[in-house]
Structure 1
C-alpha cells in the first residue's frame, strides 16, 4: 500500500541509486528444504490467530522455496522482480529464498534501490491522503491510523524502505490478508507477501544500510 505523499516520493524512488551501503547483513547458510508448501497453516503470532492459507489455490511457483539464483548481489540483499512477481532473499552458494508477491497496479509500480531502515511487527497503517480522496471509507485512518489486526492492509509485518539520504521512501515490503492477490498487480505501489511469508522474511532481515533492496521493473 502507498503511504502519505507517495505521489511526491514516486519520482524520487524511480531514480534512486543508492551506493551508501557500508555494511552487509550476515550471510545465511543454504537451507536444505526446497519448497515450503506446508508452512501456510494456522499461526498464532503476538496473540493474533492468523488463519491457514488455502495454499492449494495459489500457483505453486509462488510458494516459498529455495531456488538457484546467480547474482552479483551479496547475501542478505532483497531483489524484487516485479514483472515475474517474485521476491528473492539472496543466500550464499548461488541460492535464494524465493517468495511470491503482489505488486503495484499500473501507474503505481516503482523501481530503484533502497535499504530496509527498520521493521515492525503488526504495524499501524496510515493511508496516504491521495488514497483517501479516491476511497473516502479509509479517510478516517489518515491521521490516527488503523491499528494492527487481521484486517490491517499491512498484515503481520512491514519492512520500511529508505533512500541513501536516510529519507523514508514511503514504500514498504509488507504482509497481506489477501492471499489471492499474490501474483497480481493489485496494490497501490508497495510489495505484498502472504502473511506467513512476510513473517519468514522479517526474521531473516537485519535492518541497516547493508539490508539492500533492489526493485527491478
Structure 2
C-alpha cells in the first residue's frame, strides 16, 4: 500500500512539478500516437527549462483564451483565469521575416498540408515540387497541428504550428510563422477556440 502511494506521488511530481510560481509539464513530451502517426519523444532535458510548457503568473487586461506571442522572449502565452497563463516556448521569424500585429484564429487543422508560398519557392527553388502541397506527415514543416491567422485583410499567411525541429525552439529561424514543439501545439490546439484573439508583439 505504502509503495503504491509512493509510486503515485512520484508520477504526479514527474508529470507536473512546481518551481516557484511555475508549474512544469515535463512528462508531456513523450512519444505520442496521433491519427496514425507516432511523434517521437522530445529529449526534454536538452530543452532549456524556460521553453518547456508551464503555467505562470501573467498579468494582462486581455480575456482568458487570448494568445499573446512575445517574439523577443520567445514565449507564447495562452491567457487563463485568475492571473495565470499557459506558457510555451516558441521559434520565431529570422531577421527580415519578423512581424507583429493582431489577428484571430480563423481555422484549425490537424496534420495539415503545407503549401510553400510563391515567395519562398523563389528563394528556395527546390521547394517547387510542393507547389501543390506537401502531404501531412512527420517531416511536414507544419507538424501535427496548425492554427491559421486572419485579420481584417484576410489570411495573413502566418500560422501557429508544430515542428519536428524541437531544437529550433527559442531561436529565430522561421519565415515568420510561430512554431511550437509538436507535443505543445497539440496541447495548445486543444485549448484554443476558433475566433481566439492573437496578439504578436
- TM (norm. structure 1) is 0.82
| 1:29-40 alignment runs, 5 A limit | 34-40=23-29
When you count helix as a share of all residues, which structure comes out higher? 2
* Alignment partner, residue 134 of structure 2: 146
| Cα distance in 2 for residues equivalent to 1:128 and 1:154 | 13
Runs (5+) with no aligned partner, structure 1: 1-30
The two structures, once aligned, show a CA RMSD in angstroms of: 1.3
* Alignment partner, residue 13 of structure 2: none
Alignment length, in residue pairs? 182
* Alignment partner, residue 11 of structure 1: none
Q: 1:212 aligned to 2:160?
A: no
| Cα distance in 2 for residues equivalent to 1:172 and 1:156 | 13
Q: Which contiguous aligned blocks of 4+ residues in structure 1 show a shift greater than 3 angstroms?
A: none
| Cα distance in 1 for residues equivalent to 2:190 and 2:155 | 21
> Is contact 2:70-2:76 (8 Å) kept?
yes
Equivalent of residue 96 in structure 2, options 107, 120, 127: 107
* Alignment partner, residue 189 of structure 1: 176
Describe the SS at the equivalent of 2:176: coil
When you count strand as a share of all residues, which structure comes out higher? 2
| Cα distance in 2 for residues equivalent to 1:127 and 1:213 | 23
Residues 32 and 70 (structure 1 numbering): CA distance in 2 closer, same or farther, change over 3 Å? farther
Shift of 1:131: 1.1
Higher relative contact order (CA 8 A, sep 6+): 1
Describe the SS at the equivalent of 1:139: helix
